[in-house]
Structure 1
């Protein structure tokens, strides 16, 4: 500061306190949100075939059960992201958790197809707020090894997917799809129970000029972690950059920047409206990252959920395109054992990501896994035996799980705090468009005996996504998070800072 007093930023405070008890507790809470979304999404591959058989639906009607969830998620991701950047991370996640748990439970009582469609669409609206919790958790992470910890966080998605596969295997043959829908809503209820214990992001509070509130939260983190805050005063990134640019006047009076005053200055984009926040994503500094990120999110969602649906469609009783092959399954049934096995592909996908994301960087990790996914999917352009199909889908899902995990780290890292959840939310909305379309490819084309066309489309989308990752403007490995679009903190990449012993 101007008077020469020592000071520290939120990044430096988190670095000094390290990853401790607080982050572990928050990891469990945020992870429950990820489990909730995984269970509500994985359920689609089980409920669709069951409802189709029970109510005599067409393949398009079955596909619509999945599509409406993505429609709701597209609207929700966009809306909750804006709300979170405007009013805070906690408030931006409370309403989505209520909507998801409430309508998830109500959908299990749906008396007809229309009611089921409407309730699942509203579940999707709530699920659209889950990316907010991802950015929320990220803002409590110290910069070194942030990627590895975020991959560990992504592991909760895999836990949710495996839990849903196990539940389906146990519940569906005995109690039916209604019980599965009801039980899958339980993680969202846990989020509401423990919500009161969660803190606001100190980075967000500093952006809004509420430095004292941010300091109190950092002190609580230090107390839980058994570490002390660095000596000196907490300063915002804006204050630091102003101090670097402005020389104090000779008469000793404070300039009008507000540096050193009791009311710390704020960035000009700290109180943007919804429309301006969206325009900021397309500003000269962000437009290239934003557009490429939209394509990658679209490709990830399209291919990931497509692989989930292909796992059931290529080995279900509804696939009548190979009449010469003996089938022991009755119409409308799903081979839950095969689905359960392929779900475990997410574990090696996350392990590979954890080892590569901080060593080789986000961009290279995503690009390589996208291209390897193409190699696994190509043989499926023609019908394969059940065993070969499972092996190929297992390998493809390893890769696409890895890319999904990494892009959810990269996305909040490239955006500043002022538009972080808006940026991730809009990108997630683009991904939901991919999710809306994929059922008509993975279900409609496959059941229409057009497996080759379906797989070619998936391979093409995955390949284009891999190309786009190569053109991202910069690598975020080891970079500190920025607070404003106007920030110059990361214009010249610094060497990765190591945590002091």
Structure 2
């Protein structure tokens, strides 16, 4: 089924009431639509967790079937992160050009198709290739899902909902561990890979049927009519009545017109993206992200280097070509003021977090096996470690609003480091090993959640997903470098997720998120060869 959609009434210019997007979102409030969006986006996040973490359960079972060597194990562990690196760089600009919804659906479909096909792999080479292609899909959905949900929520509810979204990673890890526990021993690892792909298909179908495109993304690209329809759709689902004469204020169009007129009248070039963003950010108001959106939109259009002029709808193919052509320019904006001061610290945080956490999570089943765990106890212990996310997620829900995103991320990262030392020093007793791994994972998830939220909110729309893609590259590199921690990371993940989602204005948010995620996968990729 699809949500009801009210037709937009024709409104004359003399009797219309203009609202900005935040006012409209606050009026729509939090209701059935927002909870449905959380469930759909959460399912997408869980699907990514299943795809990434499920392979760690497959490796011990497939070792004899595929005659895996040490090099083969490293290749299988790292291939999904290599795919996520490629996906983060590819899908980041596409998400800013084509929209959050279509990009999310396409990336989830790729994830599911190649994840399921990997069950039919006849040898290690085929399995590595198929898992790499599935990773390209994961690399697209990870950056966009946090930006997408953040742009469907009113400001007052964003923090808790984004932590809830990040918590669905725990749902995916529990699904992966539980299904692996039930299936791999009795029926084998190949049927497990097919079942592991089901959440990706379910998330893609749900997103396609139930959710509209991000109204903020539509407004930034000048599509006022579709943005108004999206707001009406959200209000109808929440059973909230909108004033009959209300229309969304397209302030970006006014800024564009003014900038274009000034450039024409004075025969001077338009503002460049960093200059416009700096001018907007200099205002220092509580709405500086929205102001930066407008400035970035204005500069991208007036210079002719952006995806397209605000207020003008171009064909999707033209948008895609423009995004790929200008993705390098967009990424460079993140290294210039004022975005550089936000991007570089997040980059370091994502590299360290991804390298340490992913490398640990993928290594833990092998670690338990080396400590004498049989097949049944191995999956039971992995399930216990996955369940350790729950207390970390609950704690981060309160921490991100009371302590703030930055403090939550910093405290959890420090706590995860201490927990990792305890993990390394744990006695050979399997019980102590499981306890140490659980403590590490619980703390780390809070940092992840805060970092994702910051990354999704601190960039303008135009580069938001690209920054997250860059984040994925770091994660791929770092996660494979440290391969060593799991219980203290729950709160850290939450804090990092929230920070990453909030720190960038809408126009560059998706690109920023994509780049951050992509660079993080570089770290994950590298660490798999060091483990």
When the two structures are superposed, what TM-score results if normalisation uses the length of structure 1?
0.79
- Specify the alignment match of 1:407 in structure 2: 451
Instruction: Indicate the SS of the match to 2:465.
Output: helix
Q: CA deviation at 1:20?
A: 1.1
Inter-partner Cα distance in structure 2 for 1:145 and 1:37: 24
> Hey, what does 2:91 align to over in structure 1?
80
Residues 13 and 174 of structure 1: CA distance in aligned 2, closer, same or farther (over 3 Å): same
1:397 equivalent to 2:411? Answer no
Q: Which of 387, 392, 395 is matched with 1:344 structurally?
A: 387
Q: Find the counterpart in structure 2 of residue 489 from structure 1.
A: none
Q: 1:200 aligns with which of 186, 199, 213?
A: 213
SS of structure 2 residue aligned to 1:314? helix
Partner of 1:423: 467
SS in 1 for 2:186: coil
SS in 1 for 2:368: coil
Conserved 8 A contact 2:453-2:500: no
Pick which of 87-96 and 180-189 moved more: 87-96
Q: 1:485 to 1:373 in 2, by over 3 A?
A: closer
**Counterpart for residue 146 of structure 2:** 134
| Contact 2:185/2:376 (<8 A) preserved | no
1:23-422 matches, cutoff 5 A? 23-131=34-142, 132-194=144-206, 195-229=208-242, 232-238=246-252, 267-269=298-300, 271-272=306-307, 273-316=326-369, 318=370, 327=372, 329=373, 335-382=378-425, 384=427, 385-422=429-466
Return the offset for 1:433.
Answer: 1.6
The change in CA–CA distance for 1:350 and 1:237 in structure 2 (over 3 A counts) is: farther
Deviations 1:458-478 (A, max 9, x none): 99xx9xx99x98xxxx9899x
Would the aligned equivalents of 1:356 and 1:365 in 2 still touch at CA under 8 Å? yes
Does the CA contact (< 8 Å) of 1:357 and 1:406 recur in 2?
A: yes
Q: CA deviation at 1:118?
A: 0.5
Contact 1:311-1:338 within 8 A present in 2 as well = no
1:448 aligned partner: none
Q: For residues 48 and 34 of structure 1, do their structure 2 counterparts lie closer, same or farther at Cα, with a shift above 3 Å needed?
A: same
Contact kept in structure 2, 1:46 and 1:334, CA below 8 Å: no
Runs of 4+ in 1 over 6 A off after TM superposition: 2-5, 240-245, 474-477
Which deviates more from structure 2 when the two are superposed, residues 382-391 or residues 168-177?
382-391
Measured against aligned partners, the alpha-carbon deviations of 1:399-444 in whole angstroms (never above 9, x if no partner) come to: 1111111111110111011211111122222212223434xx55xx
Residue equivalent to 1:322: none
Aligned equivalents of 2:506 and 2:416: distance in 1?
35
Q: Which has the higher helix share?
A: 2
Q: Is the Cα–Cα contact under 8 Å of residues 450 and 499 in structure 2 kept in the other structure?
A: no
Higher radius of gyration, 1 or 2: 1
Measured in 2, the distance between the counterparts of 1:76 and 1:130 equals 9
* Offset of residue 56 of structure 1: 3.1
Question: Hey, what's the Cα distance between the residues in 1 that align with 2:352 and 2:505?
Answer: 27
Mark the CA change 1:187 to 1:430 in structure 2 (over 3 Å): closer, same or farther. Answer: same
Any unmatched runs of 5+ in structure 1? Answer: 246-255, 257-263, 320-326, 443-454, 487-501
CA 1:90–1:380 in structure 2 vs 1: closer, same or farther (change >3 Å)?
Answer: closer
Q: Please say if residues 30 and 137 of structure 1, whose CA atoms lie closer than 8 Å, have aligned partners that are also in contact.
A: yes
Q: Distance in 2 between matches of 1:219 and 1:14?
A: 10
- Output the CA distance in 2 between the equivalents of 1:244 and 1:480: 27
1:239 CA drift (Å): 5.5
Query: Could you tell me which residue of structure 2 aligns to residue 260 of structure 1?
Result: none
What is the Cα-based RMSD across aligned positions, in Å?
3.4
Distance 2:439 2:133 in 1: 33
Give the match for residue 523 of structure 2.
Answer: none
Rounded to whole Å, the distance in 2 between the matches of 1:309 and 1:289 is: 30
Question: What does the per-residue CA deviation read over 1:236-258, in whole Å, with 9 as the maximum and x for residues that have no partner?
Answer: 3435778999xxxxxxxxxx9xx
| CA distance in structure 2 between the partners assigned to 1:355 and 1:147 by the alignment | 9
List per-residue Cα deviations over 1:301-353 (Å, max 9, x = no partner).
Answer: 2222233234323220x45xxxxxxx4x46x8871111111111111111111
After superposition, what is the alpha-carbon deviation per residue over 1:188-240, rounded to whole angstroms, capped at 9, x for unaligned? 12133331443111111111111111111111111211223467431134357
Query: Which secondary structure does the structure 2 equivalent of 1:145 belong to?
Result: helix
**How far apart are residue 382 of structure 1 and its match?**
3.6
Alignment-derived partner of residue 433 in structure 1: 477
Report SS of the residue matched to 2:298: coil
Give SS of 1:56's match.
Answer: coil
Per-residue CA deviations over 1:125-150 (Å, capped at 9, x if unaligned) read: 11111121221111001101311111
Tell me the TM-score normalized by structure 2.
0.75
The 2-side partners of 1:475 and 1:135 are apart by 12
